[in-house]
Structure 1
Amino acid sequence: FMRKVYGILTAQLIVTTLMSGIFMLSDTLQDFVQTNHWMLTISIFATFGILLALMWKRHETPTNYILLGLFTLMESYAIGVVVTFYKVPSVIQAFLLTIGLTVGLTIYTLQSKKDFTSWHAPAVMCLYALVLASLIQVII
């Protein structure tokens, strides 16, 4: 179960990273998405529609994976649009924070015998996020 969850999470992060990178590297694409805000609006509404469909079809195996893939594409597009408005160092900092938190959370959940739903775990993750953000800020 854990392998499947982290496999899906990894695939989602890879798709989002690739799409964001493409949006940042292509000036033509940047101009297009920054001038056509209606596409972002459609993406946001589609995301909520897909979330509702996922709640409804969560136990239907091929359908839920297709919906999850569509959700990932919609969110990746939205994040891709957002990163076009920021400078590269800021986007890299956000990327490193996301990866760092994902790895830290994974390590914590795999080695801890405590229930992750307790208040201890979110407090530790917030502290970890602050420390990681500080380190990245010093480096960049």
Structure 2
Amino acid sequence: MRKEKTCIPAPAVDALVREVIARVADKWTMLVLGALEEHGTLRFTRLAEFVEGVSQKMLTKTVRQMEADGLVTRTVHPVIPPHVDYALTPLGRSLGAAFCGVWKWAEKNHAKVEASRKAFSKKHSG
């Protein structure tokens, strides 16, 4: 077992962190997390409305992976036409909360990043 002070995770934890970062870095996962956090349980079509720009195929792929990871639940209601609801699990809510810090950081530092980008662009544009 590694010491907590070093902040170097065990290989299995490191692998999970890399997978979660890759998944959450995918914009659709983050947008689905945000939509479900803000609006609660949503039908597939309503979720698609809140995740602007996502195709049906990509949304299906995203929510399936999120379900496999334990981030969302999928409830199929046996009616015609089929009614499918998606909701965040406690694990999904905790992931959203963990990444909330990124939004807070971006909000706090947006102007600094933009200024830096402009300065870089001006310096390297010729």
Larger RCO, structures 1/2 (Cα 8 Å, 6+ apart): 1
Structure of greater Rg: 2
User: TM-score, normalising length from structure 2?
Assistant: 0.29
Q: Decide which structure has greater strand share.
A: 2
Return the structure number with greater helix share.
Answer: 1
